[in-house]
Amino acid sequence: MYKKIFFLALLCLLWPSFSIAQNSDSHTKNKIFKNKNLYSGKRNIYSSSKKGNTPVYSFCSDNGFVNIEINKIRVDIINSYVLEDDTESIIIGTSSGKLLKISNFSFGKPSIEVLCDFNKGLTDVAVDKHKNYYGVFFDKIFSIRTSSCTTMDLPINILDNGNLNSLSFDKKGNLYFGYGNNSIVQAYNPNKIPKSYVWHDFQVGSAGGDFVQINDKIYISWINSGFKLYEVTIDENNDYVSYTTLDFIPEETYGLAAELGILYGITPGYIYEIDLNNSTTIPILNNIFPHGNWWGGAGLHEAIRFNVNFYENISDAENEDKSLPDNWVNTEKGGQKIYSRINDLENNTYKIVEIILTINSIPETNAIVSHKTCSIYNDSFNLLEFDTILVDNLTNLTITYHSSLANAEENIKSLDKSNIKYTDTNNGNLYARVKNNITECYKTHEFKINLGRKPIVNIDDQVICNDNTSVIINASTGYNSDRYLWSTTQTSPSIEISDTGEYWLQVTSNTDCTSTSYFNVSKSESAEITSIDIKNFTDPNSVTVNFTGTSDYLFQLDDNLPQSSNTFNPIGIGQHTINIIDTNGCETITREITVIDFPKFFSPNNDGFFDTWHLTGTDKFTDVTIQIFDRYGKLLKTLSKLSPGWDGTFNGELMQVSDYWFIANIVDEDSSFKAMGHFTLKQ
């Protein structure tokens, strides 16, 4: 860790006329200040707006009263009524020689601007009432022109072998500077003789950083067995009277800065706010070290001569009586008016500003510390209905759920309430953020999710087949601890049902999560084939199965895949098996069929291919008679089902190439039909 190398910078001289900004419309900023109150899951919100010429500050509270940080309002009032188009800033010197301007740090959106780069450690900086900049390089004090980043040494006598490390202006234009190796603090005023003089010798220790005036006190970071905060009492000329040690402050506090009435400490790694009421410190901005260590610093407006105080009534404001402390609780439930008095100490003038404080209610939630929810897979759940459990009236409210209190407070990373993974919780803990959409007040509510296993129960509709009198249903979940309740009042995992109708089963797990399945039981009627329509001698051949039955069926031809249609098209010649399958697992009906057809040509040339002609697929019929004619109607051949087929001859002579006709009379056991057609004889 770097230690600030001791040196100081100077500032002085003229003070221009200063007056309070009179343009009330300049108060157009909308600020939000936050005061975390984590144990109750709430946050007070400080927001300012303007109604006409009157600033209005809104707060959030569950009882109409709130601890108001007057300093926060003071910053806003100063920004709006004193600084006009300027804003709060701290000027910092760094170990790499950068001169930085850090602005808007009170409002959660800090910006850092590099004003100059001197390529040499800048151990401290100071700002006078004209907002001129000064710096220190170990052994000299100089003014800084930021427009060109040039410096000019000041003619100030410093101690021999003194290591300057501290530099500040008070509100009278005096410049104070101290050393890292000496207990003497010097001051410089061009209107005094001598101009440089010993302001005070503390005898023990050395300056850690800066001598900052707030009201009628000067505050010093002093090194004496650690870094300590000294509060120095001064007289009307700002000469030393006495000092007291307030407390230890963080090590390496090489800079103090007063900005808009608030005291800040500066270390190489962070800036912190000092509460002068109790000497507590609050970190406000970390250094991520793009410009080296932060060393000394100064408030941009710490030398300006004004003060701002607040009062409960206008009479007290006029008489400067009973000013409100920095932490003050409103005395009227729900809000009230207070008055700010802005004193211009340079011109001895003042302005009183009326302020409205409004205390809005924080949303109310029901006292729920745990919530049981059920999940089939024991890893995810939804909170879609939990909003109405947590809050009775959802009007103008937005509810989000978060895995941590920090996320809920900042309103980030909200969870999808329709599908929350248990791994998204904090060991089962979740945080609801309930926000009023009108006032922006919100409350965080912590509760625990008790996630239980929900049984998987899904019973399909059941069918009792014709050849059975009942059906057995086994709904076991595989968990011995699960409890079963059927609509029949039975309590076993499986039951036998013989009557048709509507039924249900309710299964409860050992975590008291319940699943219910509703199902129907019906009787299945076996299919009955009424007829089979076979279209023979067509191209292509087809078969349609006509049937009766009230169940759901599939139709299968031979070993092919079952189909929902009862028509097969195309279908090959020959014997086939048709199955009607009951989709409920009941009886399958089977029928054998034969499809017959005739060749469209034959070539009787004794090559072993298509040498004869005959009907195909007639083996299973009772009787088949086939007559073959030429185109003039002359009978050439008569065949039976057992005949080898016509070889194309008549009276021993091969017939000529031509088309020939046939008539087939086919007799089955219980029916008969006639078929006709023609075919071609080819050579």
Peptide bond before residue 540 is cis, with ω within 30 degrees of 0: yes
Q: d(Cα 430, Cα 386) in Å, to the nearest integer?
A: 12
Same domain, 557 and 626: no
Same domain membership, residue 234 and residue 328? no
Give the domain extent around 257: 87-300
Q: Closest Cα to residue 340, out of 327, 361, 355, 326?
A: 355
Residues 162 and 259 grouped into a single domain: yes
Chunked mean pLDDT (size 10), the chain, 683 residues: 32 26 26 28 45 81 92 84 78 96 82 94 92 90 95 90 92 93 92 86 95 93 97 95 96 93 94 91 93 94 85 96 94 96 85 94 92 78 88 94 94 90 83 95 92 91 88 94 96 96 96 94 88 82 90 92 92 87 88 84 90 84 91 93 91 93 87 85 88
What is the C-alpha radius of gyration for the chain, rounded to an integer number of angstroms? 50
Q: Give domain status of residue 51, yes or no.
A: no
124-160 residue pLDDT tens: 999 998 899 999 987 899 999 999 999 999 989 889 8
* pLDDT for res 615: 86
Mind giving me the DSSP string for 318-335? HHT-SPPPSEEE-SSTTE
Of 304, 308, 346, 274, nearest in space to 170 by CA:
304
Residue 260 lies in a domain: yes
Indicate which CATH number applies to the domain containing 671: 2.60.40
Residue 449 within any structural domain of the chain? yes
Is residue 436 domain-shared with residue 408, that is, in the same domain?
yes
Last residue of a domain, one of 300, 325, 342: 300
pTM for the full predicted model: 0.54
> What are the angstrom distances between the C-alpha of 381 and each of 106, 122, 387, 425, 503?
41, 58, 14, 11, 28
Q: Which of 12, 306, 345 has the alpha carbon at shortest distance from 186?
A: 12
533 lies in the same domain as 588? yes
| Residue 16 belongs to some domain of the structure | no
Q: pLDDT value at position 675?
A: 83
Q: Are residues 313 and 357 in the same domain?
A: yes
Domain match, 346 and 200 both = no
- Structure-token pair, residue 222: 């002093």
What's the CA gap between 307 and 298, in Å, rounded? 18
Give the residue from 384, 377, 391 showing the smallest Cα distance to 442. Answer: 391
Residues 160 and 233 in one domain: yes
* Amino acid letter, 676: M
Same domain, 151 and 248: yes
Q: How far is CA 141 from CA 165, 206, 232, 601, in A?
A: 10, 18, 24, 122
Provide the CATH number for the domain around residue 292: 2.120.10.80
Name the domain count of the chain: 6
